[in-house]
């Protein structure tokens, strides 16, 4: 996956990586200060859709941004969703995921 020009685009690409199980991409796009040793992917979850609810900053003209989103999934036949307000910063010129606010 190519680098994202905005924090929102990175959020969308990270969702896609979760959906297809691309842990290497998740690791590369996680800020080194908060990156876990391995991006844990739960095989029981099937990520189905993403709603971007709000963004602040995060454009090509910013160095920080936030994305509030709702990610929908199915786990063992039951639908659910994850709501998060995430922080992104540029690291070495690329957008990276820092963590939940």
pLDDT tens digit sequence for 49-95 = 999 999 999 999 999 999 999 999 999 999 999 999 999 999 999 99
pLDDT-based confidence at residue 1 (cuts at 50, 70, 90): low
Question: Is it the case that residue 40 has pLDDT exceeding 90?
Answer: no
Give the residue-averaged pLDDT of 19-47: 90
Cα–Cα distances (Å) from 39 to 5, 13, 28, 42, 96, in that order, read 23, 15, 10, 10, 14
């Amino acid at each position: 996956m190519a680098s994202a020009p905005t924090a929102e685009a990175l959020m969308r690409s990270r969702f896609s990586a979760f959906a297809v199980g691309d842990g290497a991409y998740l690791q590369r796009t996680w800020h080194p200060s908060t990156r876990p040793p391995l991006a844990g992917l739960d095989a029981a979850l099937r990520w189905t859709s993403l709603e971007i609810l709000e963004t602040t900053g995060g454009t090509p003209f910013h160095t920080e941004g936030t994305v509030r989103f709702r990610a929908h999934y199915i786990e063992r036949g039951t639908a659910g969703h994850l709501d998060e307000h995430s922080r992104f910063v540029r690291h070495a010129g690329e957008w990276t995921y820092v963590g939940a606010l």
